[in-house]
Amino acid sequence: MDHTPTSDIPVIDIGRGGGLALLAAARPRADALVDIARRRYSRLALRCGDAVSRAWLRRNASPYCGEIEAVAAHLRVPGVIMLNLSFEWGCTGLVEPDPAGGTRMLRVLDWRLPGLGRHVVVARAGSDAGVYYNVTWPGAVGVLTAMAPGRFSAAIHQAPMRRHGLTFVGDWAKNRASIWRRTALAPAHLLRHVFETCRTYDEARRALAETPLALPVLFLLAGSEPDEACVIERIEDEAVIHEDGGVAGNGWRGPDAFAGCVWSSRGYASDHRIRCLAGVSGRPVDGFDWLVPPVLNPDTRLAVRANAAAGTLSVLGLEGMHPVTSELSFTHNGLGAAQAAD
């Protein structure tokens, strides 16, 4: 298979138009992703997933429920609502003082759904709190990875799985039943709300740590000052905050986190990924030279470098451990535009 990069990553200015504006600007990419999902999951599975997800959304507290419904209505295919609430991926990330100044976030997202690397976009969104750049896909409404110049960068990691002494499938089903009973925010919706409303690192940190959630999650948060970096481990109504930042995968950092429950890490070799990325800590990086196995693995779809103080963002799309896009690197110039980085 030819893995030569074949597509560039567009930066799309959506203003305050949200998911519908992004969909209108990059509809072919959304159609391609929906087609891939249909081949992978089947139309029946997507219809069933939509039905359950729609019922949950309609009694949920999220301010973005109507936007998801509108995106689904425009695409007019099954699976849009389910995929917007999908939370089945692995991640490796690092937040720490950047040797070049400010605070940096290195972030890798692993997901078994193919096509996400090839069809990634960056949406430049406006809000009351300021501009932010969302690394995302047309048809998606929440935020998984973003950078707000002069404010902060942040990303979501899937949390470890809560075990109940059942089989893997039984534990998974019981956890989904717990989510069904809650009406609090989905993590991706909270992160979008934070980028749209929080003007400072401290405001973002507080919101990510204190807002009730529908399910466990990890947040990586990097501000604009060298001492503004933390990993926030969350269950529905509690938080553990690691103020020193550092590396996170898909397990809790301490074995005693949220005692009383048994947890198992997610994703591909989480502990090995953490140790590998920890080797990058404190040293300058050049492009994506830090993206090596096992941080890079067969499920890797996306790698990101962000520095909110400098207003810089770099993004690379991957499939099968190989780049399928050219590297996008730019600097926000403070005037509402993005300029290619040197």
Of the listed ranges 43-57, 158-172, 233-247, the one predicted with least confidence: 158-172
Torsion of CA 304, 309, 311, 313, to 10 degrees: -10
Taking the CA atoms of the chain, what radius of gyration do you get in angstroms?
Answer: 19
- SS3 annotation, the chain: CCCCCCECCCEEEEECCHHHHHHHHCHHHHHHHHHHHHHHHCHHHHHHHHHHHHHHHCCCCCCCHHHHHHHHHHHCCCCHHHHHCCCCCEEEEEEEECCCCCEEEEEEEECCCCCCCCCCEEEEECCCCCCEEEEECCCCCCCCEEEECCCEEEEEEECCEEECCCCHHHHHHHHHHHHHHCCCECHHHHHHHHHHHCCCHHHHHHHHHHCCECCCEEEEEECCCCCCEEEEEEECCEEEEECCCEEECCCCCCCCCCCCCEEECCCCCHHHHHHHHHCCCCCCCCCCCCCCCCCCCCCEEEEEEEECCCCEEEEEEEECCEECECCEEEEECCCCCEEECC
For the domain made up of 88-340, the CATH class stated in words is: alpha beta
pLDDT in tens, 217-231: 999 999 999 999 999
Q: Is 160 exposed, middle or buried (0-12, 13-18, 19+ CB in 10 A)?
A: buried
Q: What is the mean pLDDT of the chain?
A: 89
Residue 44 banded pLDDT, cuts 50, 70, 90: confident
Provide the percentage of residues in the chain whose pLDDT is more than 90: 65
Is the model more confident about 255 or about 285?
A: 285
Cα(308)–Cα(306) distance, rounded to whole angstroms? 6
Integer CA distances (angstroms), 195 to 188, 203, 208, 258, 332, in order: 11, 10, 11, 27, 16
Is pLDDT at 235 greater than 90 in this prediction?
Answer: yes
pLDDT in tens, 9-36: 999 999 999 999 999 999 999 999 988 9
Of the listed ranges 64-78, 118-132, 265-279, the one predicted with least confidence: 265-279
| CA nearest neighbour of 245 among 113, 143, 153, 151 | 153
Most confident of the following: 51-55, 118-122, 258-262: 118-122
pLDDT (0 to 100) of residue 88 = 63
Region 267-279 average pLDDT: 87
- Give the residue extent of every domain in the chain: 88-340
Is the model more confident about 132 or about 271?
A: 132
What's the pTM value of the predicted model, to 2 decimals?
A: 0.92
pLDDT in tens, 60-93: 878 998 999 999 999 988 888 888 887 667 899 9
pLDDT (0 to 100) of residue 342 = 42
pLDDT (0 to 100) of residue 58 = 83
pLDDT in tens, 154-185: 999 998 877 777 876 676 567 666 766 777 89
Cα(166)–Cα(214) distance, rounded to whole angstroms? 22
